[in-house]
Structure formats: C-alpha cells, structure tokens
Amino acid sequence: MKKSLIYLPLCALSLLASCNFLDKQPLTTLTPNNFFASATDAEASLTAAYDALQGTGAYGQDLNVMGEMPSDNCTSTNGDVNAMDKIIWVSTTSQVNNVYQQAYIGINRANIVLKYVPTVSMTDTVRRRQITGEARFIRALCYFNLVRAYGGVPLRTTPVESGAPADVNLARATSDQVYAQVVADLTTAATQMPLSNTNRATQNSANALLARVQLTQRNWTAAQAAAQKVIAAGGTLNSSFNALYPAENKSAESLFEIQYAGNADGGNILPDLMLPSPLATYSFPKFNIPTRELITYADTVNDLRWAFAGNVTAASGALVGRNHASYIDGKPGPSGNNNDVGPFAYKWRSLGNGFNSTDNTYVLRYAEVLLNYAEASNEQSGPSGDALAKLNQVRQRAGLAPLTLASPQALTKQALRNEIDRQRRLEMAFEGERWFDLLRYARHTIADATAQHAVTALDIIQQQRQARDVNYLLFPIPQNELYTNPLIQQNPGF
C-alpha cells in the first residue's frame, strides 16, 4: 500500500471514537498503548474498521462498479467508468487503485483491533470476544475482495505502525495463502460472534461469506456445509422481493449490509450515481445502466423481481418512471436531456440528498445462501430434491413455479447449473457480484472442461477486446503500489 496511508487507521481511531478526548492525554502523545484503555476505546476502534467498508473505494462506490460494470449486466456512457465498461483497465485506472487502497485501510484497522482490544480491561469479556470476531470478519471480507480481484496480495495480519520500509514493503502471498487466511478468519469469527447483533456482523454473516468464499474456490462440500449452517440457524427470505429495497436493516433476509447515516461524513453516494433525476440530486450520465440484453434476458412480465410494480413519482408528484423492482424505466426528466431516460438500477431508491443517501448496501442476503447451497450440491452429485428445495424458495418468491426432478431445467447437472446461474443473475443483479461470478465461471471451466456455463468472463472479454485474454481475469496491481513497494510484482499482461 502507499506509504502515506499507513497512518490513517490510527488517526481514524481518534477521529471516529465517540469518547471524550478531554479525559485523555494530548493528541500529540496519543498512541495505541494509551488509547486502548476502556471498553469505549475498544468499540471506537471497531467502528473505525466498519467505517472503512463505507468508503468510495469499497462498498460506497468502486467495489460495486468493479463488480458490475465489466459484466453483461451494466454499461454506461460516463467516462469515469469507461475503463471498467470496456475492459481496458490499466494499473492507473481509478477503480483499480481505490479498491486496493481502501481494502488495506480496512485490513489495517481490523489488525489494530485484533492486536490491542484483547489487552483492554473490560468487564464484559463476552463483548470483547465479539469485537475481535467482528474485526476478523471485516479483515476476511477485505482480503476476499482483494484476492478475487487481484490474485495473491501482501498478507498482513498485524498493523503497520511505522513508515519503515521493513514494515511497509511486503511481497505478495499466493492466492491460496490469502484464501487460507480468509477461511481461518471466518471460521474463528463464526465462533466469536452471536447469532443476532443489530446492524453488525454476526455468526450468520461469517458463515454466509464463508459459503461464497468456498464456492469461489470450488470447494463444493465446504461451501454446502457453510450454507447449511445459515439455513439451520433459521434463515428466512423476505416475503416480498420489491420490499427488500432500499436496504435499511428491515428484513431477516439481510445477513450483512453497509450502514449509512445519510450525512456528509456517512452518506451513500451510489444512489446519486445510478438513479435518474429528480430522484438523484441532478442529471448526468449514470453508472451501472442495465444493458438491453439483461432486460431482454429477464422475464419482465411474470418474474416479480423484474415485472412492473407501479409508478415512481418525485416529491413534486411528477412521474419519474415505472418501477420494475430491480430496475426503474426512467422517463424524460426536468433537464430535458436523455440522461434520465431508459432503465436504471433501482435497488437504491434515495430521493436525492446531495450524494449522501441513507440507503444501506447489501453485502450478504439469505437468497444467495440458498443459491450457494443449490450450486454446491449440484456440482457434487447433480440434481436432487434437496438442491431444488433451496432453489425453489428463490424461484417461488419471484412468482415462478417450483421445479421438480422431471423439469427440463433439472434433468441433468448441466441443465440445473444453467438454471442456478440464471437465477443468481436475476436475483442479485446490480449488487456488485456479477463480474466476480463470471470470473469464477471462467475458472471453473478452465479447471474442468465438462463444466460449461452459458456465459463467463472470458466471453465478455472476447466481446470487448476481440481476444479471450486470460490476463483480464485479474485486475492489475495499482501503479502506486509498484512505485512504493519494490518487493511486489505486477500481474501478467499489465
């Protein structure tokens, strides 16, 4: 990471803490050793770690752009995301740099929690254990996002607390080593966190993320087992798909979401970047515009995730467009240009708040857990009643008929693979996972030529670059990292 960033996590502990610093030593002498003196300090350090997930380099903007814009789900005429849209990214592309940088901010903050909170004298020792579990979850989430985007990266499990080259510069670990750390962190976190913890990561968060991680590695048995733990813990779907949005901690289906207060220090800018005016603060070419191929691919008549669900009006009463649950079909806005016409992602529904929406962002939902279970089960042993029972919960919530083993979509392992892929795309569109799914589909087929997917990342790369260039299955290491860390090597092809 850039040397100039290593001090940010420690500064953040003081800036984000809710305690009274008049009771502490002067800021010029504040150190981890004298900051971590109470339960309040421990909670403040964890808040700083959670805060890193809100950043524009994380779920506040660029991680979602990275997960959707290269895929067949989205497009845009906005130059800020052109490199992602056209798959022409380089080591200086802003999203490439920002996602990498923000992840290490979160990792360093989590590492600070894990180093110092165990030494804090707390009456509530159970809560102290939970805090470390939450920090492990955050660290695992950040490393997982790094490894699936960039491959092996420097693996730091202790905080960087000086600018000395020996502390700052670190060679890349292998992808397997990073994944092993992610799995270890999530396994431990699941034992340290409770099943319920309002607006925080929980045991179910850890196991749901673990299922996604194991699925990415094609560890089918482990993925199914992790998903089963969430199912056994009483996971439920919200009765209405449309009512899930915007995310506001309002459904048991939510297993982890990024919290936003809606002010200048804690607002979500994604809605303004994706919604048409006048829902958004003003009119401009938006990010993550649904492709016409996706709208055609979806059943916009019978599938409740994509069917017409009523008109959307602005605060003034003016018609903005037609709500199709996952997307809004925008009408000409007050600006008189075409920026507000056509389909727009509609899983964030803020009514313009100066780029400081209160809308939360889903990271993990129970619907994905069911799809993960069905996919892992099918990859091991082909179609089964057990796999269909999980898949049918997602289908039936969308208003689709349940499948049986006699259904065309479930006659063979390949047929059911195609159906699970389809439902995953339609269920999770615009939530930042499509490109990462397409990447793992490509790697699945590379590892096993009999495992075919209707579309993979290599198909999209072929369309955009006129070559099935496997180098673009990874993003490049940011140029800033290469400038400051002589021990790190660039990914092939960049």
Q: How confident is the model at residue 334 (pLDDT cuts 50, 70, 90)?
A: low
The mean per-residue pLDDT over the stretch 172-192 comes to 98
Radius of gyration of the chain (CA): 22
Question: What was the pLDDT predicted at 24?
Answer: 37
Tell me the pLDDT tens digit for each residue of 117-165.
999 999 999 999 999 999 999 999 999 999 999 999 999 999 999 888 8
Contacts of 431 (CB under 8 A, 6+ apart): 64, 67, 347, 362, 365
Residue 471 has pLDDT above 80, yes or no: yes
Residue 10 has pLDDT above 50, yes or no: no
Residue 17 has pLDDT above 50, yes or no: no
Q: How confident is the model at residue 18 (pLDDT cuts 50, 70, 90)?
A: very low
**Residue entry with tokens 């905080």:** 159
Question: What was the pLDDT predicted at 195?
Answer: 95
Question: What was the pLDDT predicted at 208?
Answer: 98
Q: C-alpha angle with apex 68: 65 to 73, nearest 5 degrees?
A: 140
pTM beyond 0.85: the answer is: yes
Tell me the pLDDT tens digit for each residue of 202-213.
999 999 999 999
Residue 388 has pLDDT above 80, yes or no: yes
Question: What was the pLDDT predicted at 11?
Answer: 41
Give Cα separations from 453 to 72, 259, 438, 443, 481 (angstroms).
Answer: 14, 35, 9, 11, 35
* Mean pLDDT (the chain, rounded): 92
Question: What was the pLDDT predicted at 352?
Answer: 65
Q: Domains of the chain by range and CATH?
A: 3-193+476-484 (1.25.40.390), 260-359 (no CATH)
Question: What was the pLDDT predicted at 26?
Answer: 43
The mean per-residue pLDDT over the stretch 48-77 comes to 97
Question: What was the pLDDT predicted at 19?
Answer: 35
Number of C-beta neighbours around residue 256 at 10 A = 21
Tell me the pLDDT tens digit for each residue of 409-465.
999 999 999 999 999 999 999 999 999 999 999 999 999 999 999 999 999 999 999
Question: What is the Cα 267 distance to its own chain's centre?
Answer: 17
Question: What was the pLDDT predicted at 336?
Answer: 65
Q: How confident is the model at residue 333 (pLDDT cuts 50, 70, 90)?
A: low
Question: What was the pLDDT predicted at 155?
Answer: 98
The mean per-residue pLDDT over the stretch 381-397 comes to 98
Say what percent of the chain tops pLDDT 70: 93
Question: What was the pLDDT predicted at 111?
Answer: 98
Question: What was the pLDDT predicted at 39?
Answer: 95
Question: What was the pLDDT predicted at 335?
Answer: 62
Residue 337 has pLDDT above 90, yes or no: no
